[in-house]
Every structure is written in C-alpha cells, then in structure tokens.
Amino acid sequence: MTNIWELDFYSRPILDERQKKLWELLICQSPLSIINPIDSLYRYSEFTNNQQVNSIWLRSAIEKAIADAPEPPQKIRFFRRQMNNIITKACAELAIPAALSRRTYALNQWLQQRMTEVYPNEPGYQPAANPSVQYMNPAPQPLPDALVGEKWRFVSLEAAAFAEMSEWDIDFGEAFPLSMMDIAPNSAIPGLIIYSSRAQPLAAWMSGLELVFIKFNPSPPARLLLETGGSDCWILANLTNSATVAEAKRFSEAKSKVKQVHFLAVQSNPDSESFSGFWLLQEIQL
C-alpha cells in the first residue's frame, strides 16, 4: 500500500526567548483505509525558531523523520498554500512528490488537539486563533465532457458496514477509520453514487484529484460541487428541479449529523456489485 504523509510547517502561538513565534513541523501518516489502526500511524514533531524557516531546515527535518519512520513516504500532502514554495522545494530535493491538498484529515485532528492540549502548557504560550488558511476560491469548473456521469443518486450506509470495506471490489479509492471521527456504528453515513458507462476512466481521473468533500450549493443555480486539492472545485451536477434540490438538502443535513463525513462512489450501473471508485470524505474548515 502507498505510504502518504501529511505535513504542516507553520508558526504556533508560542513565543521564544526573543519574543518571536516558534515554528513547528508536524508530520503524520495518512490513514488510507477503513482498517488503519490510528495509534499505529507514524507521527513526528519538531519546533524551530523563525530564523530557520526555509527549505534547507525543512529538508533536514524531513530526512530525520524518514530515518525515524518504519518506511519512507511515497507522497507528502500539505494544506497551507502560503508554504507552497518552501515545502515543495524541500520535498523535490528529497525526490518526494508533494501535493497541495485539504485531504489531511488526520493532521487536522492532531493540530486541533495540540492547539487545546499541548501548546497552552508550553512556556511562552500566547492565546490566539488558529491561523487561517489562504484559498483562491476559483469558480467551479465543469467536469470534462467525456467524464460526466449519466446518472447519480443519493444513498446512505450504516457506519458499521464500512468495517467490511477492505473486502469490497474497488478499483480506485481511499478511506479512513470512522473511529478516528468518533462516529457511532449505527450512524447513517450519506453518500453519492455516480453511474457512468465510462466509470473506469472517471474513477481513474478522480483518483488523481486529491478528493476532499462534496458540497451542496443552494445559490442559483443550485449545484452539487466536488472540492479537491488545495482549492479546486468541480460541478458534479446541476440541480434543475425542486425534488433534486430537496434531496441535496437532506444529504447536507445528514452530513451534519455525522461530523460532515460522507462518501463518493462510481459504478458502471446500479446492478454492479463492484466499484470503479469509492472515497470516504469529510467536509472540513481549516
């Protein structure tokens, strides 16, 4: 299985002896399947001062993390666009692909935990809001014509059903343990299935997009949007009648009951017992 790391390198609400903010590197392994035991996923952290905020220091720190880890990463994800140059340069010098991606669910949880439980106990702590992340918010793009699904429908699965996901026939996909989100086994996880005669190419194309979440946009024209990468957005479907708008609203409401967790699936037809693509997703605000 591919080994992917999630990385954040940014200032923290802690002042050093010079009254300058400390910076911190956080690295954690991405959970890629429903059965990944979270406690076994690799983590690495290191503080530094603001004079060391450069690709040279970061490359050296990543090298230390690699030496300490059970296995090196095949890819590194990071969500802060403003750190793009430093992170991509350090990773390039180590021959590790770096991807600007909001699919950093494990890292986001860890960072929030440190914000409330770790940093307040550090000398020099200065209460402050978590620095916001800069996004471009581009206009939603239409899917390539050859990849538009012929049909789609909203569905739901009981959370407990995902325990068998490793046994499902899936060509492309990625998941994470629902226990990581503290979701009860009897909770209903909402999802969207896209049916297409070109299901395989559609799923293959989506697998390269760093899928993040599906969002219902009620503003005219009402749409289902797929958020990917650092700030990209795609039009999954235009909702042209009141019935589909009502379904999308229920989908959105169902997400809110399970901490915004949901899924996207791609199949060739409704009778298929396999998935060309299946991704577990979560809508997040960084």
The whole-number pLDDT of residue 135 equals 60
Under 8 Å between Cβ of 105 and 33: no
Q: Nearest CA to 94 among 117, 64, 130?
A: 64
4-121 belongs to CATH 3.30.420.10: yes
The whole-number pLDDT of residue 129 equals 55
Q: Where are the domains of the chain?
A: 4-121, 141-282
Angle ∠(60,66,69) on CA atoms, nearest 5: 145
Q: Mean pLDDT in runs of 10 for the chain (286 residues)?
A: 92 93 96 80 95 97 97 96 96 97 94 94 82 67 78 94 92 92 92 93 92 93 92 90 94 96 96 95 84
Please state, in angstroms and rounded to a whole number, the distance separating the CA atoms of residues 157 and 185. Answer: 10
The whole-number pLDDT of residue 160 equals 93
The whole-number pLDDT of residue 32 equals 86
Question: What stretch of H or E contains 165?
Answer: none
Please state, in angstroms and rounded to a whole number, the distance separating the CA atoms of residues 175 and 165. Answer: 9
Which two three-digit tokens encode residue 77?
């994800």
The whole-number pLDDT of residue 110 equals 93
Please state, in angstroms and rounded to a whole number, the distance separating the CA atoms of residues 266 and 93. Answer: 36
The whole-number pLDDT of residue 1 equals 64
The whole-number pLDDT of residue 100 equals 95
Buried/exposed code over 230-259 (b: 16+ C-beta within 10 A; e: otherwise): bbbbbbbbebeeeebeebbeebbebbeebe
The whole-number pLDDT of residue 83 equals 95
